[in-house]
Structure 1
């Protein structure tokens, strides 16, 4: 009888402990993509990074990425569209919204960005530039202008997505 009792208690403990298993945080970077330049994982749907290599895109696809939004300019890419070819070879949807710096942080460019976000709304998406800074800037402006986020909430969204040196120009735009 005592063995049955100990068995039942042990079983209850195991079930209790397994129920307490922590969920993986959304922003935890999967090991398989940890070496992608400036990788961030701000939410379940989005990864952000610097300029990916073909191997990086393969690794991201293995993590469930099915779309890419590229914010690099022609100059950033040395006028080479190899990334678009790689995406096509890998079966990834590919969108490009060139953003070079503060002068490209306009309502028109954010509208183009919104269309790319809408097209990838049900996909796990890599959004990238050279460092994630422009990604963060565009996400901050998008949060304010399209999602009606407060300026502080929009800036936090931007930071979550990699906003750094463009924070001051973004703040100015949010205050206009």
Structure 2
């Protein structure tokens, strides 16, 4: 008869360990997102962080591969004058959502551009998505702001990621830093 209370005690302890609150377990989302260099078609550079692809300019064939890879939304940071083809029309023909948020120089990288980009990046219904510019330089500026303000990543770590993605232009870095400072007030 002594075995029955012991068995009940063990079962009780087992149930307790199975029903610990989620906060007691490590939270995978609390870790910094891992930025991975990936290969898909001819896109260079190309990185992925969870369901966001960060890229240089894809070709038409690359957009077909992107579609097959499950991407739902294409976010283009390039101006129409930079492209010699109708990227938006082609992407829509593939039945992907197309969002153009063009800027070219640091003086055209306005708070409204950052706001629009953050809105799209934070809209989980649009994921997976690809954010692209010519060389990913502009993508890096947007990624820097997103990582600091929306993912609570330390500025220096976010800057390192943004530079890894392709951020090179000092003026973009200055604009991103000013926007971050203003948003944190």
Task: Answer whether TM exceeds 0.5 for this pair.
Answer: yes
Contact 1:67–1:120 at 8 Å: present in 2 too? no
Q: Please report the TM-score for the alignment, with normalisation by the length of structure 2.
A: 0.67
Q: Please report the TM-score for the alignment, with normalisation by the length of structure 1.
A: 0.70
- Where 2:36 maps in the other structure, the secondary structure is coil
Contact 2:37–2:46 at 8 Å: present in 1 too? no
Describe how 1:96-111 pairs up with structure 2 within 5 A: 96-111=100-115
Distance 1:169 1:151, change over 3 A: farther
Please report how far the alpha carbon of residue 121 of structure 1 lies from its aligned counterpart in structure 2 after TM superposition.
5.0
Runs of 5+ consecutive residues of structure 2 not aligned to the other structure: 1-33
**Whole-angstrom CA distance in 1 between matches of 2:164 and 2:53:** 11
**Whole-angstrom CA distance in 2 between matches of 1:64 and 1:35:** 17
Contact 2:41–2:61 at 8 Å: present in 1 too? no
Which residue number corresponds to residue 37 of structure 1? 44
Cα RMSD for the two superposed structures: 2.4
**Count of paired positions:** 145
Q: Find runs of 4+ consecutive structure 1 residues off by over 6 angstroms.
A: none
**Whole-angstrom CA distance in 2 between matches of 1:63 and 1:26:** 18
- Where 1:126 maps in the other structure, the secondary structure is strand
